[in-house]
């Protein structure tokens, strides 16, 4: 298998000249060692077991190959008639058991360390939503900070261009960049509480060394401690519907002082956002903001044209809800539709965002049903 890996490496060298820069940064043949103690011990475990398998493979396939070369009729081999040997049977039962036990010991200690999320310095709640991630900082300086993290708008645009998209401009970040990344401090044990709002997702950043399912109605625990500042990318690993392939994760680890600066910025932005809900907005202003919100959150199902996808996702153009009583429209966006992919955006977006997107939907694609003010959303919550 090692030889095969080498061969494969060679093959990639021939074929991959064009993408060589991208390859160099992503370790194309093997598991990533990652940036945490956990990911390192997972990597070591992986390599140990891989090499043990290779050794067994060499012995078993070697014996087989020897036999295939030498014990063939065309070489005049006459079949021996031996069979049944209790000694052999016992031997090839005991030896594998010994090998397995020697594998199980390091596996057990790694597992116990990974599952111990006690004594964390801070806690972040991760919520999987079709098809984005929400991060709520539960305690510490960041308490109250809330981030909605979706596929980066540029990538979202590119992936809908089909064969016309020029993906080379994104280097190796195509589909792996978000609008609002998760930021954590270095050198701290960060505990994640992982859950989901609709269907099952799985939160995975290879460099951290694990993935954990995000399950509606359940809270899973995991943790990480990153020492090196940097940007670490991953994506949803559990099939979660149409845009499962388009819900990346970006974690930025910042030195504590940079992290503190970032937290302060977030608090400031949140305050400004809250204040904006109290003032009266102009129609153009609402619709312009609404279009952005729509593109990020709504367009993948209801489509940029507002036509939806027949049978799966309803059209908004000319729909009863988007042209009728605003209260019903507000209710649908705030509370979602259980049993469908329509999320309860009340928990995800600010009053101004929701008012803007509703206004946009009521004034696009031939709809003409007036605007909704942020104050109306605040009242309806």
Partner 1 sequence: MSTATATHDDHHDHGPAKGLMRWVTTTNHKDIGTLYLLLALVNFFIGGAMAMVIRAELFQPGMQIVDPQFFNSMTTVHALVMIFGAVMPAFTGLANWLIPMMIGAPDMALPRLNNFSFWILPFAFTLLLSTFFMNGGGPAAGWTIYPPLVLQMGDGFPFMIFAIHLAGISSIMGSINVVVTILNMRAPGMTLMKMPLFVWTWLITAYLLIATMPVLAGAVTMLLTDKFAATSFFSAAGGGDPVMYQHIFWFFGHPEVYILILPAFGVVSAIVPTFARKPLFGYSSMVYATASIAFLSFIVWAHHMFTVGMPVVGELFFMYATMMIAVPTGVKVFNWVSTMWKGSMTFETPMLFAIGFIIMFTIGGFSGLMLAIAPSDFQYHDTYFVVAHFHYVLVTGAIYSIMAATYYWLPKWTGNMYDEKLGKMHFWLSTVSVNVLFFPQHFLGLAGMPRRIPDYAVQFADWNMISSIGGFVFGVSQLLFAYVVIKTIRGGEKATDQVWEGAHGLEWTLPSPPPYHTFTEAPQVK
Considering the rule CB under 8 A, would residue 307 count as an interface residue with partner 1? no
161 lines the binding site for partner 1 (CB under 8 A): yes
Complex with partner 1: residue 56 or 379, whichever CB lies closer: 56
For residues 294 and 313, which CB has a smaller minimum distance to partner 1 in the complex? 313
Q: Does 55 bind partner 1 (CB under 8 A)?
A: no
Interface segment toward partner 1; rule CB under 8 A; list 50-58, 179-187, 261-269, 358-366: 50-58
> Concatenated DSSP letters for 299-357?
HHHH-TTS--BTTTB---TT-HHHHS-HHHHHHHHHH--TTSS---GGGTS-HHHHHHH
- If the CB atoms of residues 344 and 369 are measured against partner 1, the closer one turns out to be 344
The residue among 177 and 353 lying less far from partner 1, judged by its C-beta, is 177
Judged by CB under 8 A, which stretch of 45-53, 133-141, 180-188, 347-355 contacts partner 1? Answer: 45-53
- Compute the distance between CA of residue 182 and CA of residue 234 in angstroms, rounded to an integer: 12
Contact between 154 and partner 1 by CB under 8 A: the answer reads no
231 lines the binding site for partner 1 (CB under 8 A): no
Asked whether position 85 contacts partner 1 by CB under 8 A, the answer is yes
Q: Does 72 bind partner 1 (CB under 8 A)?
A: yes
Residue among 159 and 267 whose Cβ is closer to partner 1: 159
Closest CA to 105 of 40, 39, 49: 49
Which residue, 244, 214, 219, is CA-closest to 131?
A: 244
CB 136 within 8 A of CB 149: no
- Per CB under 8 A, the segment of 234-242, 249-257, 268-276, 350-358 that binds partner 1 is 234-242
Q: Is 314 in the site for partner 1 (CB under 8 A)?
A: no
Listed ranges 3-11, 291-299, 317-325, 362-370: which one lies at the site for partner 1 (CB under 8 A): 3-11
339 near partner 1 (CB under 8 A): yes
As a whole number of angstroms, the distance between CA 329 and CA 309 comes to: 19
Q: Which is nearer to partner 1, 22 or 380 (CB)?
A: 22
Figure out which of the listed residues 257, 280, 282, 310 binds partner 1, where binding follows CB under 8 A.
310
For residues 262 and 226, what is the distance between their CA atoms, to the nearest angstrom? Answer: 17
In the complex, least distance from residue 327 CB atom to partner 1, rounded to whole angstroms: 24
Q: Which residues of 370-379 are buried (b: 16+ CB within 10 A; e: fewer)?
A: ebbbbbbbbe
Q: How far is the CB of 125 from partner 1 (least distance, A)?
A: 14
Query: Where in 240-299 is the site for partner 1 (CB under 8 A)?
Result: 240-246
Question: What's the half-sphere exposure (Cβ side, CA atoms, 13 Å) at 320?
Answer: 1
Cα 87 to Cα 143: distance, rounded to the nearest angstrom: 66
Q: Which residues inside 86-115 make contact with partner 1, applying CB under 8 A?
A: 88-89, 92-93, 96-97, 100, 103-104, 107-108, 110-112, 114-115
Give the DSSP per-residue string, 210-249: EEEEE-BT--EEEEE---S-EEEEEE--S--STTGGG-EE
Residue entry with tokens 């908004």: 316
Instruction: Identify whether the C-beta of residue 107 lies closer than 8 Å to the C-beta of residue 45.
Output: yes
- C-alpha span between 151 and 160 (Å, rounded): 12
The 8-class DSSP code of residue 147 comes to: E
140: contact with partner 1 by CB under 8 A: no
């Amino acid at each position: 298998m090692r030889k095969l890996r080498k061969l494969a490496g060679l093959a990639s060298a021939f074929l991959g000249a064009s993408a060589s820069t991208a390859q160099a940064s992503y370790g194309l043949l093997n598991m990533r060692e990652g940036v945490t103690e956990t990911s390192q011990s997972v990597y070591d475990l992986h390599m140990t077991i891989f090499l043990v398998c290779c050794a067994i493979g060499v012995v078993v396939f070697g014996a087989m190959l020897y036999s295939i070369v030498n014990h063939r009729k065309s070489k005049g081999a006459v079949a021996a008639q031996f069979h049944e040997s209790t000694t052999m049977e016992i031997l090839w039962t005991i030896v594998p058991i010994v090998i397995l036990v020697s594998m199980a010991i390091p596996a057990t200690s790694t597992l116990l360390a990974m599952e111990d999320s006690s004594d964390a310095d801070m806690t972040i709640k991760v919520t999987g939503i079709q098809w984005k991630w929400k991060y709520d900082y539960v305690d510490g300086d960041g308490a109250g900070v809330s981030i909605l993290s979706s596929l980066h708008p540029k990538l979202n645009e590119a992936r809908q261009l089909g064969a016309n998209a020029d993906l080379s401009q994104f280097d190796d970040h195509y589909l792996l960049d978000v609008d609002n990344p998760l930021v954590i401090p270095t050198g701290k044990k960060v505990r994640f509480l992982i859950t989901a709002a609709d269907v099952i997702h799985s939160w995975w950043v290879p460099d951290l060394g694990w993935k954990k399912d995000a399950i509606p109605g359940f809270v899973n625990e995991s943790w990480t401690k990153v020492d090196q500042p940097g940007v670490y990318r991953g994506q949803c690993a559990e099939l979660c519907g149409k845009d499962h392939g388009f819900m990346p994760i970006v974690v930025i680890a910042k030195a504590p002082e940079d992290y503190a600066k970032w937290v302060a910025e977030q608090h400031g932005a949140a305050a400004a956002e809250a204040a904006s809900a109290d003032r009266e907005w102009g129609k153009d202003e609402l619709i312009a903001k609404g279009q952005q919100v729509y593109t990020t959150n709504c367009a993948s199902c209801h489509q940029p044209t507002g036509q939806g996808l027949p049978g799966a996702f309803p059209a908004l153009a000319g729909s009863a809800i988007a042209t009728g009583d605003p209260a019903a429209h507000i209710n649908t966006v705030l509370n979602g539709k259980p049993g469908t992919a329509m999320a309860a955006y009340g928990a995800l977006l600010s009053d101004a965002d929701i008012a803007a997107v509703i206004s946009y939907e009521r004034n696009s694609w031939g709809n003409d049903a007036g605007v909704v003010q942020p104050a109306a959303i605040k009242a309806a919550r």
